[in-house]
Amino acid sequence: MRTCIAFTFAVLLVGCSGSVSREDATKFLDEAEKKIDELGKEASRAQWIQSNFITDDTEAQAALANQRATDYGVSLAKQAKRFDNLDLPPDMRRKMNLLKTGLTLPAPADPKESAEAARLAASLEGAYGKGRYCPDGDAKPCMDIGMIERTMAKSTNAAELLDVWKGWHSIAKPMRKDYARFVELSNKGARELGFKDTGALWRSKYDMPPDDFAKELDRLWEQVRPLYVSLHSYVRGRLREKYGPNVVPEKGPIPAHLLGNLWAQDWGNVYNLAAPAGADPGFDLSAILKNRKTEPLQMVRHGEGFFTSLGFEKLPETFWKRSLFVKPRDRDVVCHASAWDVDNVNDLRIKMCIDINEEDFVTIHHELGHNFYQRAYNQQPMLFRDSANDGFHEAIGDTIALSVTPEYLVKLGFIGKAPDASKDIGLLMHRALEKVAFLPFGLMIDQWRWKVFSGEITPENYTKAWWELKLKYQGVAPSGDRTEADFDPGAKYHVPANVPYTRYFLAHILQFQFHRALAQVAGCPAQGSGTPLHRCSIYGNKEAGKKLSAMLAMGISKPWQEALAEVTGGKQMDATAILDYFAPLQKWLDEQNKGKASGW
């Protein structure tokens, strides 16, 4: 087996494929699964330490452990080709394919280059984690990302918003060169595996030809674009009233710093500016959590409580001991929220710098969705311990958070009485600012990255191309010039951390499909006299929980289309669910936007 991988692919295929048997394949997969488990654990632990304690040493250790796991993954991807012409049962064939397409960072075979790629990956993520903006040099205290995000969320002073926005984006400047080199190395590795570039590898993981997947994204985006454009036009009008015609144009893009979020990806924080007159539901979850003096841990307990109400087991004790909920005062950590499954079985954890507000309440459910998924598929063979596709992993906790309705908040004792139906436009507006606003952002990041990997966007054009795509998809633009001295993509976690992003776009489509299907099971169908989707909570519904759990337990053992059918009965990703959910808002927006400029 080993000697084969020393040859080129062509030799590999011709020279080896004829001489392998099903027993060889079984042995190969068994060994691979064992070692992936081992190396995965080692890498997870090193990464956990690095993200919780960013120093040069932890970074170096994480890079080493990651390199070991990656190199092994690369060698498996190559060796799997030996079995290409062998007749194998579907499960084994699927495992072989997963080995070939499973890597996110396909390091080159040259050990020096592979070490360099691992070092760059660790240091880029570390640089993001350490990012700070120090206004006026040393004259004022430096701001970490949490402080900056709080200002972005709260301030309505355009100058202040622009200042912190620019301040945060400046952290990425030093990443540019390293990122360009990282792209080069990753592409080299992808080509050694037989892919055109890293983007082509990323697109090959969806149980369909990669080009069809790209078209599928376009189709979904076309389904939801009109809703986004309506929301955009309406919000632009309201921001124009607030900030004036010199700051917000009548027809053009919205300035990126005015949407309550550093990346203009979630506009929930401008709800107060956009709230429909007379339809404000009259409660503010952030204020409620603060007034009740809810602790971060208590917020996580509420999240767990939702899952257990559906019939899921409680989280293990180790989760509570080992997770990070609060930003430590004395050291650098990667605050970007994440969920972990350190031993691939039950060592579940989240790592979050929780703020007491609604956004983080939702994010907690998001993270726990990952953890409950991880545990649900832990009976699968190692190679099948993953979500049906990466969008599924990102969608589960969000699906649950869609059930955080006023009626659910009444059950928690957070509010006395749910607002009546006349306030629904307010509720829907709030959700749309979070979910609909996100859609083009969810798409554009990898549209940028795929072109970077393919070479269509070169390092000389990184920032220019970034803003062209932000304009095209989101209709947002920066205030003032951004130049190639900046590296604005690096100011978004997933770029330096090399986390593919299309998954979140998919998740924002899928979660509404899951919600619609589970709402049906829970007995609140959208049509007819039933509870509308945005008022339906599946809290406490064991039937819905069973259905969800059955899908999660499949892991990635079957094509995602089959997992989707398990819950929704259909095999296509389909944006009609999100459109159904927001149908009353779309109608309302159409009326508000009459006679006003649409698009940018």
Residues tagged active-site: 336-337, 366-367, 370, 394, 494, 504
235 and 271 in contact (C-beta within 8 Å)? Answer: no
Bridge partners for 348 per DSSP = 341
* Dist. CA 171–CA 142, nearest whole Å: 12
Phi/psi of residue 178, nearest 5 degrees: -60, -40
Nearer Cβ to Zn ion, position 76 or 396? 396
Provide the 10 A C-beta neighbour count for residue 243. Answer: 17
564 and 556 in contact (C-beta within 8 Å)? Answer: no
- Can residue 363 be called a binding residue for ligand X8Z (CB under 6 A)? yes
Instruction: Choose from Zn ion, ligand X8Z, none: what does 504 bind? Cβ within 5-8 Å by kind.
Output: ligand X8Z
- Give me the sign of the Cα torsion angle 281, 287, 291, 296: positive
- Can residue 51 be called a binding residue for ligand X8Z (CB under 6 A)? no
Residues in 392-421 that interact with Zn ion by CB under 5 A? 394
- Can residue 337 be called a binding residue for ligand X8Z (CB under 6 A)? yes
- Can residue 202 be called a binding residue for ligand X8Z (CB under 6 A)? no
Least separation in angstroms between CB 542 and ligand X8Z = 27
Q: Which helix (H) or strand (E) holds 289?
A: helix 285-291
Among 188, 257, 366, 385, which residue interacts with ligand X8Z (rule: CB under 6 A)? 366
Instruction: Choose from ligand X8Z, Zn ion, none: what does 47 bind? Cβ within 5-8 Å by kind.
Output: none
- Can residue 338 be called a binding residue for ligand X8Z (CB under 6 A)? yes
Distance set, CA 141 to CA 144, 156, 157, 257, 353 (Å): 10, 21, 20, 21, 20
Query: Which three-class secondary structure state does DSSP give residue 339?
Result: strand
Place of tokens 């956009």: 274
Bridge partners for 178 per DSSP = none
Instruction: Choose from ligand X8Z, Zn ion, none: what does 363 bind? Cβ within 5-8 Å by kind.
Output: ligand X8Z
Nearer Cβ to Zn ion, position 116 or 355? 355
DSSP 415: S
- Residue type at position 192: E
Distance set, CA 548 to CA 115, 218, 367, 524, 592 (Å): 41, 28, 16, 16, 38
Provide the 10 A C-beta neighbour count for residue 312. Answer: 19
Residues in 460-479 that interact with Zn ion by CB under 5 A? none
Nearer Cβ to ligand X8Z, position 263 or 283? 263
Place of tokens 């020279």: 15
- Give me the sign of the Cα torsion angle 352, 396, 544, 347: negative
Nearer Cβ to Zn ion, position 233 or 502? 502
Binding mask 260-299 for ligand X8Z (x = CB under 6 A): -----x----------------------------------
3, HSE (Cβ side, Cα atoms, 13 Å): 2
Least separation in angstroms between CB 202 and ligand X8Z = 16
Least separation in angstroms between CB 370 and Zn ion = 6
# chain residues binding ligand X8Z, by CB under 6 A = 6
Nearer Cβ to ligand X8Z, position 300 or 524? 300
DSSP E strands: which ranges in 323-379?
338-341, 348-351
Instruction: Choose from Zn ion, ligand X8Z, none: what does 337 bind? Cβ within 5-8 Å by kind.
Output: ligand X8Z
Least separation in angstroms between CB 55 and Zn ion = 26
Least separation in angstroms between CB 338 and ligand X8Z = 6
Least separation in angstroms between CB 443 and ligand X8Z = 12
- Complete DSSP assignment for 129-140: HH-EE-TTTTTS
Least separation in angstroms between CB 148 and ligand X8Z = 15
Least separation in angstroms between CB 369 and Zn ion = 8
- Can residue 470 be called a binding residue for ligand X8Z (CB under 6 A)? no
Residues in 376-395 that interact with Zn ion by CB under 5 A? 394
142 and 182 in contact (C-beta within 8 Å)? Answer: no
- Can residue 399 be called a binding residue for ligand X8Z (CB under 6 A)? no
# chain residues binding Zn ion, by CB under 5 A = 1
Nearer Cβ to Zn ion, position 178 or 394? 394
Cβ partners under 8 Å of residue 182, min gap 6:
117, 120, 121, 124, 498
Cβ partners under 8 Å of residue 138, min gap 6:
none
Among 267, 340, 504, 560, which residue interacts with ligand X8Z (rule: CB under 6 A)? 504
Instruction: Choose from Zn ion, ligand X8Z, none: what does 44 bind? Cβ within 5-8 Å by kind.
Output: none
Residue ranges binding Zn ion (CB under 5 A): 394
Residue ranges binding ligand X8Z (CB under 6 A): 265, 337-338, 363, 366, 504
